[in-house]
Amino acid sequence: MHLHVYETVALHPRPNSVLLVHGSVSSGPIWQRWQTLLAEGGWSSIALDLRGHGASDPVDLSDVGMDDYLEDVRRVARTLPAPPVVLGWSMGGLLALRFAEVAPSAACIALAPSPPARVRNPDVEIRRGVFDASEYGITSLDPEQQRGMPDLDIEARQLALRSLSLDSRRARDERSAGVPVARIAVPLLLIIGGSDRQFRPATYDQFPFEADRLFVPEASHWGLVLSRQALDFMKGPVVAWLARVTPAA
């Protein structure tokens, strides 16, 4: 099974690349602006399309679970010369936390992650099937009609809409039931959007791991990956944090 990746190489790269993991119903191209930000700060990066998303091989998503997506991240990480910094958004943020728990990594950045659990709730039904972005309120491909992207310019909205994909209902139900993460032993940065309506800031009041935090005022859920204002706000703190917690050579 082919997993497509999008690589950006910094002019004078640090030894650890940043491995970028997209969220539900999206794909790797959403990281385009982040990859530019990271390269300007000296960090090469690789964004993957999870199986059945973007340019990766199509699969029957109806029975794909979170462990399958985690294996995709691990497969790409094994091609890298050094343990990566894993950075994920939304569902990808939860995958980043799981990766940091079970695989060699230099650090972890969780960008508005789906909340991790201590235990799984056995009462939540796990269903097969697929769903699309309409379940997150995206019911039109008109960039002017995106209420959930108030801080994105038209170019960013178009990029977000082009990135859309079907996704696995099984994986979504598994997140609803709770995907347990026991411990994170590497440096962890939690980034929260002040105007995120999918995972409001209070979602992380009981975040179960010790983490540095970066609060991004006015950033929506999509804004954390594509808003120029949010990226300008995050660039300095994120690059400084990475330099502080990872070796220079």
User: What's the average model confidence in pLDDT over 217-244?
Assistant: 97
DSSP reduced 3-state for 205: coil
Q: What confidence tier does 129 reach under pLDDT thresholds 50, 70, 90?
A: very high
Q: What pLDDT, on the 0 to 100 scale, is given for residue 249?
A: 66
pTM confidence score: 0.96
% of the chain beyond a pLDDT of 90: 92
User: What's the average model confidence in pLDDT over 108-132?
Assistant: 96
The CA-based diameter of the chain, rounded to the nearest angstrom, is 51
Q: What is the amino acid identity at position 122?
A: P
65, pLDDT greater than 70 = yes
Q: What pLDDT, on the 0 to 100 scale, is given for residue 146?
A: 85
Question: pLDDT per residue over 80-94, tens digit each?
Answer: 999 999 999 999 999
Q: What confidence tier does 147 reach under pLDDT thresholds 50, 70, 90?
A: confident
Any idea what DSSP says for residue 115? P
User: What's the average model confidence in pLDDT over 60-66?
Assistant: 97
83: left (phi over 0), alpha (psi -120 to 50) or beta: beta
Q: What pLDDT, on the 0 to 100 scale, is given for residue 247?
A: 81
In whole angstroms, what is the distance from residue 64 CA to residue 167 CA? 9
- Residues 25/136, Cβ–Cβ less than 8 Å: yes
The CATH number that domain 5-245 falls under is 3.40.50.1820
Tokens of 157: 């909205």
| Nearest CA-CA partner of 20 in 210, 201, 238 | 238
Q: Which CA distances in Å does 200 have to 34, 90, 184?
A: 22, 12, 23
Mean pLDDT (the chain) is: 96
Angle among Cα 175, 180, 186 to the nearest 5 degrees reads 115
Question: pLDDT per residue over 152-206, tens digit each?
Answer: 999 999 999 999 999 999 999 999 999 999 999 999 999 999 999 999 999 999 9
Q: What pLDDT, on the 0 to 100 scale, is given for residue 248?
A: 75
106, pLDDT greater than 90 = yes
State the sign of the Cα–Cα–Cα–Cα dihedral 59, 65, 71, 77: positive
